[in-house]
Amino acid sequence: MINIPKGTKDVLPQDAYRWHYLENTMRDVARLFCIDEIRTPVFEHTELFLRGVGDTTDIVNKEMYTFEDKGGRSMTLKPEGTAGVARAFIENALYANPQPTKMYYITPVFRYERPQAGRLREHHQFGIEYFGASSPLADVEVMTVAATLFKRLGIGNLSLRINSIGCPECRVRYNVALRAYLQSRLDDMCPVCRERFDKNPLRILDCKEAGCKAITAQAPVTLDYLCDECRTHHEQVCAGLDAIGMAYEIDPHIVRGLDYYTRTVFEFISSNIGAQGTVCGGGRYNNLVEQVGGKPTPAVGFGMGIERLLLTCEQLGLPLGQAYAPDYYIAPLCEDAKGLAANLAAQLRDAGKAVSVDLLDRGMKAQLKYANKIGARHVVLIGEDELAGNRVNVKDMTTGESTMTQPSATAIVAADGKGERI
């Protein structure tokens, strides 16, 4: 037997309705904010992620699924959604449209990492990307999109944490202070962080090693090194959140794990899924479009793990829709009834009804048992007596009552409680 690869998971038929419920809710929330869908390829040129995500990030250094195609080109299964959307924004000249360009996606992403609760090597993300808006109000609206989705789903145990990591100019001053703090502590840090010290010390703040986290807990914070423009932006983001009554905490230790972030970074944290409790993370990335070949374009967005969202809903006991069930199960009880059964099924489906028909030549008791097991609301029984009288027997599986009626979709639908009781 060939088993499923480690870090992946099947979505089984009996569970698919929960995914559909979440995805439909996401699409509905996106519609409320006038955000259009974008779909990008599952793999891109590796260079896109090297330039966009950053070659000092864990994603690029440790987690990407990279392969060489038959043409000798280096390709990578996308480890996150934003870089591909930025590439599409440039390549398809979406910058020529009226701005801002507001897009969402629901996509699989791939990271070679240790599987954990709500995070798999192939997992799925719901993401929002706003291009062309530098206003702090865009940051606030993006966070509001996430908060609206959580509210729709009934998730109320989340905390919003925000920070600002400034612009590249702020970063130069901050990196000097951070290196000065870390210099005497390098011997106590992991090998990866020692390597990051010279290349990109900000990445050290994202290390998950306990020893490194203990050291960086007392490190200088980015908020103390913001330029006037970045400080004003941060203050206006906070004022915008205050204006709409959205609760938040300022967390100076949030930097996010991707190099493209500038200014605002944020996370929605759940206490219901263990230590890695981030169910949504995002922020502003004003330099990304330029880094991957476009003109300078302000941008802000978020990514949300769908598996983690499912896990959070399950931990809270929240409803995720209802399992699919047929409106009608048609049960032919003899060979001559099969043609009429197929005809009625087609009529009912044309009328918008979900219909299942016996395909295994079961007896009547077995068919009724099966119809009950799959949750069919009605069973249409067609036996020799029904054929002789040009009737069908419609059984309501909730009340147990049966009705004889004409063999047509219109009559069957109308027969619910209105036909000849038997």
pLDDT one-digit tens code per residue, 110-157: 999 887 766 789 999 999 999 999 999 999 999 999 999 999 999 988
Cβ neighbours of residue 335 under 8 Å, at least 6 residues apart? Answer: none
Is pLDDT at 275 greater than 60 in this prediction?
Answer: no
pLDDT at residue 259, rounded to an integer: 77
Closest CA to 85 of 55, 112, 106: 106
Rounded (to 5) percent helix, strand, coil in the chain: 40, 20, 35
- How far CA 306 is from CA of 120, 190, 309, in Å, comes to 11, 31, 5
3-state secondary structure at position 45 = strand
pLDDT for the residue 186: 84
CB 161 within 8 A of CB 266: yes
Is the distance from CB of 401 to CB of 421 less than 8 angstroms?
yes
pLDDT at 171: 87
CA 130 to chain centre: 17
Residue 281 pLDDT exceeds 80: yes
What is the rounded CA–CA span in Å between residue 251 and residue 267?
A: 9
* pLDDT for 192: 83
Phi, psi angles (nearest 5°) of residue 181? -70, -40
Contact in structure between 311 and 360 (CB atoms under 8 Å): no
Residue 420 pLDDT > 50, yes or no? no
Going by pLDDT thresholds of 50, 70 and 90, the confidence category of residue 358 is: very high
CA 413 – CA 396 distance, rounded (Å): 11
Query: What is the rounded average pLDDT of the residues 369-374?
Result: 96
CA distance 49 to 80: 9
101 vs 216, higher pLDDT: 101
* Mean model confidence pLDDT for the chain: 91
Residue 405 has pLDDT above 90, yes or no: yes
Tokens of 333: 């009880």
* Confidence band, pLDDT 50/70/90 cuts, at residue 161: very high
Side chain identity at residue 180, one-letter code: A
Amino acid symbol at 70: K
Mean pLDDT, rounded, for 78-92: 96
Q: Tokens in use for 31?
A: 């519609």
Q: Which residue's structure tokens are 């206490």?
A: 271
CA angle (389, 390, 394) in 5-degree steps: 95
CB atoms within 10 A of CB 247: 10
Residue 422 has pLDDT above 60, yes or no: no
At residue 419, the pLDDT reads: 41
